[in-house]
Each structure stands twice: as structure tokens, then as C-alpha cells.
């Protein structure tokens, strides 16, 4: 089989706050595997079947994190197609199909996978893909339906017909209807995974949603390669209507087919879903990280940066990060979005960033923050360089903890090693580079009357920011 994995990684997963943030989204989190993120696991899952390098469609603000995570698992030739803004799955998949055509891979099959799904029964999934490939090679648009194991009200359903035909797509049901679907044996969970040829999808999209097809095509015509990334015309894509592949193509298509997958599957949409999916201890608790439990039952407790102790509680979700703690009844897992909405409304940043913020050159961690000072721990990867910049409102002290720093400080260029430092006054042009072979770690102390990240005037930047 000639398969191109198409990984859709555009969502943020606000119901998984405080772990999932706008600039460190759900697909990039190691939620069910301590070694790999959901995105990495998705790509590794189909690596045995894949004939071509993957196409990843992602939000522009996640591009460097996505590229880094691909490199960590040895994927260096992927096409990372950037969406200037989210327009739902129909336009996103059209971008991937056009990218496949650009690479002259019209006859290859696009295996479209959300980046945040969890599948443990890989053998059963591969069997379903092989079955779907036969249909896709005949010109069908194939979706994968998951055999339901419970009357789930959080998923849409597909009613299957004879010869793999899609008889009906149905919305998320109430509990009684979901039970009836389960009892009938004719309904499958709508997984949001697909298999088809690029030209087949684009042809069907043009037939049923010509406005989407035309807008995406116009945007893609401006394609240009920027480092590891494929950029399109932002204004043209912004004019594209927003719609899902289900509504835009699959429901009206006469070539839609559904293949059943009977293994375990979850989209880990919220903390209660992670609890249901994860392995539990004798007290039916899911304990992740540095956690102690005494007399607690049916809880999910996740610690990121310190010890969390749960005593005598039941049915709770407790999630600790360096800057936020979530405590809620597991039955209210869908309401986390309300907290995220309030954070946005109040102009706070806890919905956007963790205390550790990833950049293309490395990362920084806020250690302390006061009214007129901020302390950061900055890590610069070997061979990388921050932008040449200046600040109107803050001065900076840099102290090297380990590694070697090449520093531009005004009209001077200096090398600093361990325990050496430099001072950069307000308004002075400066830059930081790691010329060495090991990670550079510095402590940065900022002082001034405004410490926001938007007080940066960039003169040059190798990453095009």
C-alpha cells in the first residue's frame, strides 16, 4: 500500500487545561505514554504501513514545537503545512491533498488521522486500514467507524449499511438513544479518521463545496517553503468557509464507505476520558507523577512539578502544573472550558503558556515574577541563536550557568562561559547564541517598568518571526 499519513494537529484541547494550553496544545502532550506525545504516538503507530513521509497540518503558532517533536522521533522529511487560522477539517484535509499533488503523489492514499487519538490495538487497526485501502483504491471515500462498547453520548455515530455503505451520519445522541444504537449493532462511533486518494477527495469537495475548494486552491497557489514549513496565502485562507469533512463531503457523497474497527480507541477529549482509558490501581485511582493517596477512590491525580497528596476524597480530578491547579468533580469534566473562557476574558495568560515556553531555539522558564523584575532560566540548543533585538522598557542581566554564550551587546561581541555575566541596558541592541556542542543554560534577570513579551523590537531573526 502506498500510504501518506496526514496528521491533523490544529486543536488546542481546552477541556484538558491546565496541561493543554494555546501554545502547547493537547497533541503535543504525553498524556498516556510518558515517552511520547499523542502526536508522536500517532505517527509511530502507522510507521510500519506508511510508504511516504507524513503531511502534518497544524496551527502556525505550534509550528516549531511540532517540528521539534517530529525530529525527536526521527521524522525529518515531513511536510508541515501551516494553517494561518483554523477552518475545520474540510479545508485542512484539502491542504494536505494539494500538498500530495504538489509532490506528484496523486495515486497514494491519504490516511487522515487526528493527532490526539489513542489506539492500542495496532494489529486490529492495521487490518481495518488494509480493508479500507481496497475500497479507497476503487474511488471510495472511506471513514473508520469504531465498534461501540458503551452507550456513549459524547460521540457522533455512523449507521452502517450493506457492502460498507454509509447509511447515515447521526449527531451525538442522548443516553436512551445511545443505548438503542448500541443494542441494534448497526451503529459505529464516528472516529474522524479517513482513507482516500487526494484527487478523489478534491474532486468530491469541488462537487459539493466548490466555495471551499476554490478558496483553499487559491490560498495554496501562493505556496512557499519556509525552513521546515509550507506556507500558504493567509488572506485567501481566511476567506475560506469553515466546515467539517463530514458535513462538506462525507454526508452528501455517494462514494462514502465505512470500515469497522473493533479495537480500543479514545480521543481523550477531557480528563474523565483519560481516567476511563488509563490503568487504575486497587482503589480505582489513576495516579500520575509524584502523587500519594490515602483513603481516596475513583480519582485521577496528576502532578507535574511537586508532590500532590489526596486524602479521603472520591471521584475527583486533581491536575497540578507549575502555575495552576485544577480540582473538580469528575462528572463536571466538560466544564473546564468555562474556566479557560474566564481566563481569556480576564486577560490572564494561564490558558496560553506554561511557565516553560518553547521556542525554535530552545525554551525559557519563568522562575520568579514581581512588579518590576522577572527571572528566567533560558536554555539554548547547540548552534541556535535568539533574534537580534532590543527592549524599550527593560534591562537584562545574563549569567551563564553551563555551556558557552556568544553575546552581541551593543557594538561589542563577547564569549561568556560558566559563572560569567553581562549587563544589557534599556535600548541596547543585543543577541544570544550558543556556538558550542552542549546545551547553553543562562539565568536572565529582567528589571524595568514593563516586562511583557511584546516589548521586543526584532532587527533580524533566522526563524522568520
Tell me the pLDDT tens digit for each residue of 401-411.
Answer: 999 999 999 99
Q: What per-residue confidence (pLDDT) applies to 399?
A: 98
Q: What per-residue confidence (pLDDT) applies to 10?
A: 82
Give the DSSP H/E element, type plus range, for residue 422: strand 421-424
Q: What per-residue confidence (pLDDT) applies to 463?
A: 86
- pLDDT, mean over the chain: 94
Query: Once rounded to an integer, what is the mean pLDDT over residues 448-461?
Result: 92
Worst-scoring range by mean pLDDT, 191-200, 296-305, 315-324, 348-357? 348-357
* Secondary structure letter of residue 23 according to DSSP: T
Look-up: residue for cell 480528563? 271
Tell me the pLDDT tens digit for each residue of 169-222.
Answer: 999 999 999 999 999 999 999 999 999 999 999 999 999 999 999 999 999 999
Residue 107 has pLDDT above 90, yes or no: no
Residue 50 has pLDDT above 80, yes or no: no
Retrieve residue 84's grid coordinates. 494561518
Q: What per-residue confidence (pLDDT) applies to 356?
A: 87
Residue 1 has pLDDT above 80, yes or no: no
Domain covering 3-261: architecture:
Alpha-Beta Complex (3.90)
Under the banding of pLDDT at 50, 70 and 90, the label for residue 358 is: confident
Query: Once rounded to an integer, what is the mean pLDDT over residues 322-340?
Result: 95
Dist. CA 334–CA 395, nearest whole Å: 43
Q: Could you give the percent of the chain with pLDDT greater than 90?
A: 86
Q: What per-residue confidence (pLDDT) applies to 329?
A: 97
* Secondary structure letter of residue 281 according to DSSP: -
Buried b (16+ CB within 10 A) or exposed e, 272-290: bbbbebbeeeeeebbbbee
- 6: Cβ contacts below 8 Å, ≥ 6 apart: 54, 55, 56, 57, 93, 96, 110, 111, 112, 113
> How far, CA to CA in Å, does 417 sit from each of 268, 274, 400, 420?
45, 45, 6, 6
The conformational region for residue 139 under phi > 0 = left, psi -120 to 50 = alpha, else beta, is: left
Residue 11 has pLDDT above 80, yes or no: no
Under the banding of pLDDT at 50, 70 and 90, the label for residue 33 is: confident
Q: What per-residue confidence (pLDDT) applies to 60?
A: 87
Domain ranges of the chain: 3-261, 278-339, 356-460
Q: What per-residue confidence (pLDDT) applies to 144?
A: 97
Tell me the pLDDT tens digit for each residue of 236-275.
Answer: 999 999 999 999 999 999 999 999 999 889 888 899 999 9
Listed residue (90, 106, 118, 16) closest to 52, CA to CA: 106
Dist. CA 227–CA 381, nearest whole Å: 17
Q: What are residue 421's phi and psi, to 5 degrees?
A: -145, 170
Dist. CA 191–CA 147, nearest whole Å: 10
Listed residue (53, 43, 170) closest to 117, CA to CA: 43
* Inter-helix orientation angle 198-208/89-102, to 10°: 130
- 421: Cβ contacts below 8 Å, ≥ 6 apart: 397, 398, 399, 400
Listed residue (163, 134, 171) closest to 3, CA to CA: 134
Q: What per-residue confidence (pLDDT) applies to 357?
A: 86
Dist. CA 107–CA 126, nearest whole Å: 20
Instruction: Determine contact, residues 308/318, Cβ cutoff 8 Å.
Output: yes
Residue 465 has pLDDT above 80, yes or no: no
Q: Centre a 10 Å sphere on the Cβ of residue 454 and count the other Cβ atoms it contains.
A: 5
356-460: CATH number = 2.60.120.10
Amino acid at each position: 500500500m502506498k500510504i501518506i499519513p496526514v496528521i491533523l494537529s490544529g486543536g488546542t484541547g481546552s477541556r484538558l487545561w491546565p496541561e493543554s494550553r494555546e501554545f502547547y496544545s493537547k497533541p503535543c502532550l504525553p498524556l498516556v505514554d510518558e515517552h511520547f506525545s499523542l502526536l508522536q504516538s500517532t505517527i509511530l503507530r502507522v510507521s510500519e504501513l506508511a510508504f511516504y513521509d507524513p503531511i502534518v497540518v497544524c496551527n502556525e503558532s505550534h509550528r516549531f514545537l511540532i517540528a521539534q517533536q517530529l525530529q525527536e522521533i526521527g521524522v525529518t522529511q515531513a511536510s508541515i503545512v501551516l494553517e494561518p487560522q483554523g477552518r475545520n477539517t474540510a479545508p485542512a484535509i484539502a491542504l494536505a491533498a494539494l500538498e500530495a499533488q504538489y509532490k506528484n503523489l496523486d495515486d497514494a492514499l491519504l490516511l487522515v488521522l487526528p493527532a490526539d487519538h489513542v489506539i492500542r490495538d495496532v494489529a486490529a487497526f492495521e487490518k481495518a486500514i488494509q480493508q479500507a485501502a481496497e475500497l479507497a483504491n476503487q474511488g471510495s471515500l472511506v471513514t473508520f467507524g469504531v465498534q461501540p462498547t458503551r452507550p456513549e453520548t459524547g460521540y457522533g455515530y455512523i449507521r452502517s449499511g450493506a457492502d460498507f455503505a454509509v447509511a447515515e451520519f447521526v449527531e451525538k445522541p442522548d443516553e436512551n438513544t445511545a443505548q438503542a444504537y448500541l443494542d441494534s449493532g448497526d451503529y459505529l462511533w464516528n472516529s474522524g479518521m479517513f482513507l482516500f486518494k487526494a484527487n478523489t477527495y478534491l474532486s468530491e469537495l469541488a462537487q459539493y463545496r466548490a466555495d471551499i475548494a476554490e478558496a483553499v486552491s487559491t490560498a495554496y497557489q501562493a505556496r512557499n517553503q519556509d525552513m521546515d514549513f509550507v506556507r500558504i496565502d493567509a488572506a485567501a485562507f481566511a476567506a475560506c468557509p469553515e466546515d467539517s469533512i463530514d458535513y462538506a463531503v462525507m454526508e452528501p457523497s455517494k462514494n462514502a464507505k465505512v470500515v469497522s474497527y473493533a479495537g480500543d480507541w479514545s480521543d481523550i477529549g477531557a480528563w474523565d476520558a483519560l481516567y476511563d482509558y488509563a490503568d487504575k490501581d486497587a482503589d480505582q485511582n489513576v495516579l500520575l507523577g509524584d502523587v500519594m493517596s490515602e483513603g481516596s477512590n475513583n480519582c485521577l491525580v496528576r502532578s507535574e512539578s511537586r508532590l500532590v497528596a489526596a486524602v479521603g476524597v472520591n471521584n475527583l480530578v486533581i491536575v497540578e502544573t507549575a502555575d495552576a491547579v485544577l480540582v473538580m468533580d469528575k462528572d463536571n469534566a466538560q466544564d473546564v472550558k468555562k474556566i479557560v473562557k474566564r481566563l481569556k476574558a480576564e486577560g490572564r495568560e494561564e490558558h496560553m503558556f506554561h511557565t516553560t515556553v518553547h521556542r525554535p531555539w530552545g525554551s525559557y522558564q519563568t522562575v520568579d515574577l514581581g512588579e518590576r523584575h522577572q527571572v528566567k532560566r533560558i536554555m539554548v540548543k547547540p548552534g541556535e541563536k535568539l533574534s537580534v533585538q532590543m527592549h524599550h522598557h527593560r534591562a537584562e542581566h545574563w549569567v551563564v550557568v553551563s555551556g558557552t554564550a556568544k553575546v552581541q551587546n551593543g557594538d561589542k561581541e563577547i564569549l561568556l562561559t560558566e559563572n560569567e555575566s553581562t549587563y544589557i541596558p534599556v535600548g541596547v541592541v543585543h543577541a544570544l547564541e550558543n556556538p558550542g556542542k552542549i546545551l547553553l543554560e543562562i539565568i536572565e534577570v529582567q528589571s524595568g517598568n514593563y516586562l511583557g513579551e511584546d516589548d521586543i523590537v526584532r532587527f533580524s531573526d533566522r526563524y522568520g518571526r
